[in-house]
Structure 1
Amino acid sequence: MVAQDFTVDLNKPLVFQVGHLGEAYQEWVHQPIASKEGPRFFESDFWEVESLYVIRIFKRQKFLTCTVWWVIPLIWLPVVCWCISMSIRMGHTLPQIALMVVSGIFVWTLLEYTLHRFLFHIKTKSYWGNTMHYLIHGCHHKHPMDGLRLVFPPAATAVLCVPFWNLIKLVSTPSITPALFGGGLLGYVMYDVTHYYLHHGQPKSEVPRNLKKYHLNHHFRIQNKGFGITSSLWDKVFGTLPQSKAAEKNR
């Protein structure tokens, strides 16, 4: 039985602690710690050693802020290009390819919003529910500035690509499927790189500066709204656009 007065020890590995919080987990995980130093997840060095090794290497080379984001385009952009080239080899023109890719990106933006709202912010209170949520997204809300665990691990992305590919095969032709999938994958790359930048970049122009403000508002002020990362489009469509501070004061 979960002790209602259980307290998480931040100096110990967190993953197998958070489940004991029970119903108190939701409140705890949405009280962010704005530190660039990430927590230890596991007691076992087998699970923790790889990320610690990366930290040591890049601290010594003073590239700590670049340890994560570049892995995403490095691995997935060649896959995007290969998928698009498949549809080109099957006879589609460049304008047709462009339309497929843009359509794939558009589909991704809806998937991005849906996953963030309904999976990443699912309400949990059981031991394993809390534990799994913390691993998927809770750790990011608790430590939003932890750059090592911000983007999605490539191995997990590869697993999720399989049902996404099969779903596209069901609704499109064999020659359209690769380019449409490539567009969706390109949308994912844009999302993950943008997400990293919104946390660790210092935008100078108005559009990215407003996008950064919009996303950090989701982390530090209104965490049950503002689920869009690359844009606020679907928040506007589905009514989850957060109110401004001025509007809240006038209520």
Structure 2
Amino acid sequence: METSHQPRNSGTGKIFNNPFLERLTRTHISLPLTAFSMISIYLIYQSVAVMGIAVGTTMLLFLGGLLFFTFIEYMMHRHVFHMTEDTPAKKKFVYTAHGVHHDYPRDKDRLAMPLPVSLVVSFVFFLIYRLIMGDYAYAFLPGFLMGYAAYLWVHYMVHAFQPPKNALKIWWVHHGIHHYKQPDRAFGVSSPIWDLVFRTMPEKSK
């Protein structure tokens, strides 16, 4: 299926004809938020109480993981979910992973990756971090996971709620521009920092 790039204000898209697979593409936002919060608490406990990493070091690694997630979020959104759809396989992948969300941005059941998939991806990241930084991965990964949880919550809020009348409105404006005006810009959801770094902030003239 191809993305129409014409956002609907209601309704939902169909990804799979198989009803079981189609059901697996839907996730209530509370599931990943709860799961990754609990996993992060456990890993921080392991870092301090079991691995013996100092509390201050754990906090710095946690913040490092949080910041690193915002970078991964930006790169995935820009270069994977918005890759050039020059083959049928790429078109199907982009629509399944992200295009259906652009077609139906108010579909609350598709604002988060299915929990089984996100758990597997998180475990792969843990193995990579463990290989690179050893026991410090127990402090770094929780920051990364809570970065993901923060991204999910921000993404859910901007699609499910009306924008507030305060400084937090920038999240709604920034992501709304990406969805409705300039899909080739404003890739940061939880933070616009990497849009600033890589010069993909929205063009004011538009």
Q: Which consecutive unaligned segments of at least 5 residues does structure 2 have?
A: none
Q: Determine if the alignment matches structure 1 residue 68 to structure 2 residue 28.
A: yes
Q: Determine if the alignment matches structure 1 residue 219 to structure 2 residue 193.
A: no
| 1:144 partner letter | P
Structure 1 contact 152–192 (Cα < 8 Å) conserved: no
Correspondence for 1:43: 17
| 1:42 partner letter | F
Residues paired across the two proteins, number: 205
Q: Determine if the alignment matches structure 1 residue 189 to structure 2 residue 189.
A: no
Correspondence for 2:131: 170
Q: Which consecutive unaligned segments of at least 5 residues does structure 1 have?
A: 1-17, 19-24, 55-66
Question: 1:49: Cα distance to partner?
Answer: 5.2
- For residues 99-248 of structure 1, the aligned pairs below 5 Å read 99-174=60-135, 176-244=136-204, 247-248=205-206
Task: Give me the TM-score of the superposition, normalised by structure 2.
Answer: 0.91
Question: 1:205: Cα distance to partner?
Answer: 4.4
| 1:170 partner letter | L
**Could you say if the C-alpha distance between residues 179 and 49 of structure 1 is closer, same or farther in structure 2, counting changes exceeding 3 Å?**
closer
The C-alpha deviation readout for 1:134-173, integer Å capped at 9, x for no partner, is 1111111111111111111111111211331122123313
Q: Which has the higher contact order (CA 8 A, sep 6+)?
A: 2
Question: 1:204: Cα distance to partner?
Answer: 2.3
The C-alpha deviation readout for 1:2-54, integer Å capped at 9, x for no partner, is xxxxxxxxxxxxxxxx1xxxxxx4xx53222221x212333333334567xx9
Q: Identical aligned pairs, as a percentage?
A: 28
Query: What SS does the corresponding residue of 1:196 show, helix, strand or coil?
Result: helix
The C-alpha deviation readout for 1:30-81, integer Å capped at 9, x for no partner, is 222221x212333333334567xx9xxxxxxxxxxxx722112111111001
Task: Give me the TM-score of the superposition, normalised by structure 1.
Answer: 0.76
Q: Does 94-103 or 39-48 show the bigger shift? A: 39-48
- For residues 13-92 of structure 1, the aligned pairs below 5 Å read 18=1, 25=2, 28-35=3-10, 37-48=11-22, 68-89=28-49, 90-92=51-53
The structure number with the bigger radius of gyration is: 1
Structure 1 contact 72–193 (Cα < 8 Å) conserved: no
**Deviation above 6 Å: which 4+ runs of structure 1?**
none
Q: Does 110-119 or 200-209 show the bigger shift? A: 200-209
Question: 1:194: Cα distance to partner?
Answer: 1.0
In 2, distance between residues paired with 1:77 and 1:229?
A: 19
